[in-house]
Amino acid sequence: MRFGASAPDADIQRRFLPKEAVVRLYAVVAAGGFRRYATYRVATAAGVFTNTVFGFIMAYTYIALWDERPQLGGYDLSQAVTYVWLGQALLMTCAMMGGGFEDELIERIRTGDIAIDLYRPADLQLWWLAGDLGRAAFHLLGRGVVPLLLGALAFDLALPASPLPWLAFLTAVLLGVVVSFALRYLAALSAFWLMDGAGVLQITWLAGLFFSGMLLPLTLFPGALGELARLLPWSSLLQIPADVLLGKRTGWGLVHAYAFQVGWAAALLGAGRLVQSAATRRVVVQGG
Amino acid sequence: MTEEATDTAEPVRTADLIELEGVEKVFDVRRRTGLVRREKTRVRAVDGISFTVPRGEMVGYIGPNGAGKSTTIKMLTGILTPSGGRLRVAGIDPSRERTRLARRIGVVFGQRTTLWWDLPLIDSYRLVHRMYRIPDARYRQNLERCVELLDLGALLDVPVRQLSLGQRMRGDIAAALLHDPEVLYLDEPTIGLDVVSKAKVREFLRDLNTERATTVLLTTHDLTDIEQLCKRVMVIDHGRLVYDGTLAGLHEVAPGERTLVVDLDRRLPPIEVAGARPVRVEGPRQWLAFPASASAAPIVAALAADYPLVDLSVREPDIESVIAKMYAERPTAP
């Protein structure tokens, strides 16, 4: 499905286009997304510094907490501290508190520059998804690796020694990024109706901060709130990848975790498509 | 296969590349009138426009702000669906086959950019290469040509955000042409550019039109663009086509006036000089109007002889005043 009225044509095109060309286009977009963020080296260094400082603050807070209540949420102390540093490493990658394409997309909708994106022979959602995957790849390397290494130097972290858990973790991170993208895409598209996406972004920012498990692991919360928090899409962003790396999800548990992430990704991307086709029918007169 | 089938279903009967027949676009604008009450008003942005543009023609499409120019261009690219009428570009119904049409047209919006803001110019071109699936040899050849004619050689590795407006505009024009579009829509391509950049852009467009027979639809506020590029000009106002003909013809139906802005070395009573009439005085600065068809030289010579001139400049009639004049001369016009 593409934009509203053009859907049948797009389907025909899709069938007759060499797949390779499509892959190539979005690969270039993703590479561009990566390099755009790679351009700003000082900003990256400043970000790494911030992540590391926050990592230390949160690690000591967690240590105090776990000292009082060992095995809180099913984690031992070393696992809890590992969880903190994973949170810092994935904060930008999974864009738990925003900071990806959404500000730019909202700005383009507001100014009418979105018109340019619409006459391109490319799909709007795939275009932004590819760009965001490129960004996430950069943030994982540029903003994720160093804080995690520094954390591992300063604390005794429960990191796996064999490559397989790491691979499982990276898969969960990739799926988390897609879920995160789909959420932010929906939030950004609201600008077509609201003209100012700031409020919606703040809500997603708050929701992301809490429901991803960034403040505290979601396994700590008892009762209905805990159940709800673990069922919402945001748990795909940090809670699930962290549990995969910490070995809490293996075998069928791992399959279940992936299925949960894939399910939310599909549902949210699908919703994004529906909203997109409604929105592009509204592309009206911004900027004449 | 499918493309051929669609083409035979909608044959290009004439050499007309752009065809509009009674095209309309109506927007429903909701306006809040009370706490909850909302009033719905219909705005006819484009109100029954018909014209054709044959292959290889370069046409100026002008009108005041809000006349419906951009709405027309958006319909021609397929991002807006007409509310009524028939519209074809290269035999394609734009809004129904937006993606297929996109491969055959190029669009440049003067005030927007299609280039990647944070990345070197060349990265945007690599993207265009993939997006339009331009064969490698063709891509290299077109890029080389654009780089040479638009003087982009030194700019390819510069991030777009560091380019000047004129450089960025040339970069945008190149991006719109790498896939050899048959039709090029230019929306205010010279807006905000300095004289040298304007001249460069115009020269390039002229060459493109003669060499490649690219059909160009040009929207502008700058009548000099039209004068130098287009034999034919269409004027749109309030969503209707009010003039379609030569630029000379437009001056005939709406004889414009040029303005001479004169800076004197002190305040003086309104200047009296043959061939021009004073229209405004503001301290030592005065404005004189004279017919657009007349030469400024004898007026300037007379001024220089009789008055203490510090500086002067000539302003061309803008499109708003030409259209205002059109109504004044033809009170029966819609």
**Is B228 domain-assigned?**
yes
Q: Is B130 part of the contact surface with chain A (CB cutoff 8 Å)? A: yes
Interatomic CA distance for residues A173 and A279, integer angstroms: 30
Task: Identify whether residues B149 and B284 lie together within a single domain.
Answer: no
User: What confidence score (pLDDT) does residue A10 get?
Assistant: 43
Are A285 and B111 an interchain contact pair (Cβ–Cβ within 8 Å)? no
The pLDDT tens digits for B5-16 are 444 444 444 578
User: Of the residues B251, B273, B302, which one is the last residue of a structural domain?
Assistant: B251
Are B119 and A284 an interchain contact pair (Cβ–Cβ within 8 Å)? no
Task: Identify whether residues B162 and B291 lie together within a single domain.
Answer: no
User: What confidence score (pLDDT) does residue A100 get?
Assistant: 82
The pLDDT tens digits for B195-208 are 888 888 899 899 88
Are A36 and B100 an interchain contact pair (Cβ–Cβ within 8 Å)? no
User: What confidence score (pLDDT) does residue B40 get?
Assistant: 78
Query: Is the predicted pLDDT of residue B330 greater than 70, yes or no?
Result: no
Task: Identify whether residues B168 and B225 lie together within a single domain.
Answer: yes
**Is A90 domain-assigned?**
yes
Of A21, A118, A284, Cβ closest to residue B133: A21
Interface size, chain A vs chain B, as Cβ–Cβ contacts under 8 Å = 95
β-strands B183-187, B38-54: how paired?
unpaired
For chain B, what percent of residues have pLDDT higher than 70? 91
Q: Is B74 part of the contact surface with chain A (CB cutoff 8 Å)? A: yes
Task: Identify whether residues B266 and B246 lie together within a single domain.
Answer: no
The pLDDT tens digits for B33-53 are 766 777 778 888 899 999 999
Enumerate the residues of chain A whose CB falls inside 8 A of the CB of residue B2: 12, 16
Q: Is B119 part of the contact surface with chain A (CB cutoff 8 Å)? A: yes
Task: Identify whether residues B203 and B299 lie together within a single domain.
Answer: no
Task: Identify whether residues B198 and B153 lie together within a single domain.
Answer: yes
**Is B82 domain-assigned?**
yes
Compare all CA atoms of chain B with the CA of A30 and give the residue at the minimum distance. B127
Are B107 and A119 an interchain contact pair (Cβ–Cβ within 8 Å)? yes
Cβ distance B253 to B218 under 8 Å? no
Task: Identify whether residues B245 and B310 lie together within a single domain.
Answer: no
User: What confidence score (pLDDT) does residue A283 get?
Assistant: 62
∠ CA B48-B50-B52, nearest 5°, is 160
User: What confidence score (pLDDT) does residue A285 get?
Assistant: 41
**Is A30 domain-assigned?**
yes
**Is B332 domain-assigned?**
no
Q: Is A63 part of the contact surface with chain B (CB cutoff 8 Å)? A: no
Distance from B326 to chain A by nearest Cα, in Å? 24
In this prediction, residue B273 has a pLDDT band, given cuts at 50, 70 and 90, of confident
Task: Identify whether residues B128 and B44 lie together within a single domain.
Answer: yes
Interface of A with B in 19-38 (CB under 8 A): 21, 24-25, 27-29, 32, 35-36
Q: Is A3 part of the contact surface with chain B (CB cutoff 8 Å)? A: yes
Compare all CA atoms of chain A with the CA of B104 and give the residue at the minimum distance. A121
Range of the domain at B158: 14-251
Interatomic CA distance for residues B328 and A67, integer angstroms: 87
**Is A243 domain-assigned?**
yes
Query: Is the predicted pLDDT of residue B324 greater than 80, yes or no?
Result: no
**Is A286 domain-assigned?**
no
**Is B45 domain-assigned?**
yes
Domain count, chain A: 1
3-state secondary structure chain A: CCCHHHHHHHHHHHHHCCHHHHHHHHHHHHHHHHHHHHCCHHHHHHHHHHHHHHHHHHHHHHHHHHHHCCCHHHCCHHHHHHHHHHHHHHCCCCCCCCCCCHHHHHHHHHHCCHHHHHHCCCCHHHHHHHHHHHHHHHHHHHHHHHHHHHHHHHCCCCCCCCHHHHHHHHHHHHHHHHHHHHHHHHHHHCHHHHCCCHHHHHHHHHHHHHHCCCCCCHHHCCHHHHHHHHHCHHHHCCHHHHHHHCCCCCCHHHHHHHHHHHHHHHHHHHHHHHHHHHHHCCCCCCCC
Task: Identify whether residues B192 and B226 lie together within a single domain.
Answer: yes
Task: Identify whether residues B210 and B285 lie together within a single domain.
Answer: no
User: What confidence score (pLDDT) does residue B319 get?
Assistant: 67
Q: Is B113 part of the contact surface with chain A (CB cutoff 8 Å)? A: yes
Are A119 and B65 an interchain contact pair (Cβ–Cβ within 8 Å)? no
Radius of gyration of chain A from its Cα atoms, rounded to whole angstroms: 20
Are A9 and B103 an interchain contact pair (Cβ–Cβ within 8 Å)? no
Of A6, A25, A283, Cβ closest to residue B130: A25
Q: Is A278 part of the contact surface with chain B (CB cutoff 8 Å)? A: no
Interatomic CA distance for residues B138 and B303, integer angstroms: 57
Q: Which of B98, B101, B124, B183 to mutate to test the interface with A (most CBs of A within 10 A)?
A: B98
Q: Is B112 part of the contact surface with chain A (CB cutoff 8 Å)? A: yes
**Is B140 domain-assigned?**
yes
**Is B138 domain-assigned?**
yes
Are A121 and B99 an interchain contact pair (Cβ–Cβ within 8 Å)? yes
Q: Which of B43, B79, B93, B158 to mutate to test the interface with A (most CBs of A within 10 A)?
A: B79
Query: Is the predicted pLDDT of residue B242 greater than 80, yes or no?
Result: yes
Range of the domain at A76: 4-280
**Is B2 domain-assigned?**
no
Q: Is B220 part of the contact surface with chain A (CB cutoff 8 Å)? A: no
The pLDDT tens digits for B84-118 are 999 999 999 998 888 889 999 999 988 888 899 88
**Is A169 domain-assigned?**
yes
Q: Which of A2, A9, A126, A193 to mutate to test the interface with B (most CBs of B within 10 A)?
A: A9
CATH at B77: 3.40.50.300
In 3D, which of A247, A230, A226 has the Cα closest to residue A238?
A230
Q: Between B265 and B256, whose confidence is greater? A: B265
Are A119 and B123 an interchain contact pair (Cβ–Cβ within 8 Å)? no
Interatomic CA distance for residues A55 and A34, integer angstroms: 25
If you ran DSSP here, which 8-state letter would residue B24 be given?
E
**Is B325 domain-assigned?**
no
Distance from B98 to chain A by nearest Cα, in Å? 6
**Is A258 domain-assigned?**
yes
Contacts 24+ apart (CB under 8 A), A159-163: A159/A82, A159/A245, A160/A245, A160/A247
**Is A288 domain-assigned?**
no
Of A29, A113, A119, Cβ closest to residue B102: A119
Query: Is the predicted pLDDT of residue B152 greater than 90, yes or no?
Result: yes
| Residue-by-residue pLDDT tens, chain A, 288 positions | 333 333 344 444 444 457 888 899 999 999 999 999 998 899 999 999 999 999 999 999 999 999 999 999 999 999 999 999 999 999 999 998 887 889 899 988 888 888 888 888 888 999 999 999 999 999 999 999 999 999 999 999 999 999 999 999 999 999 999 999 999 999 999 988 887 778 888 898 899 999 999 999 999 999 999 999 999 999 999 999 999 999 999 999 999 999 999 999 999 999 999 999 888 776 654 444
Are B2 and A16 an interchain contact pair (Cβ–Cβ within 8 Å)? yes
Q: Which of A1, A3, A6, A28 to mutate to test the interface with B (most CBs of B within 10 A)?
A: A6
Are A2 and B99 an interchain contact pair (Cβ–Cβ within 8 Å)? yes
Task: Identify whether residues B200 and B134 lie together within a single domain.
Answer: yes
Domain count, chain B: 2
Compare all CA atoms of chain B with the CA of A280 and give the residue at the minimum distance. B79
User: What confidence score (pLDDT) does residue B14 get?
Assistant: 53
The whole-number average pLDDT for the span B52-64 is: 91
Distance from B159 to chain A by nearest Cα, in Å? 10
Distance from A17 to chain B by nearest Cα, in Å? 10
Q: Is B146 part of the contact surface with chain A (CB cutoff 8 Å)? A: no
Task: Identify whether residues B204 and B235 lie together within a single domain.
Answer: yes
Q: Is A119 part of the contact surface with chain B (CB cutoff 8 Å)? A: yes
Q: Is B68 part of the contact surface with chain A (CB cutoff 8 Å)? A: no
Tokens at residue B271, please?
A: 């200047």
Tokens at residue B118, please?
A: 């944070």
- Report how far apart the first and last C-alpha atoms of chain B are (Å, whole number): 47
Q: Decide if the complex's ipTM is over 0.90.
A: no
Are B96 and A5 an interchain contact pair (Cβ–Cβ within 8 Å)? yes
User: What confidence score (pLDDT) does residue B9 get?
Assistant: 42
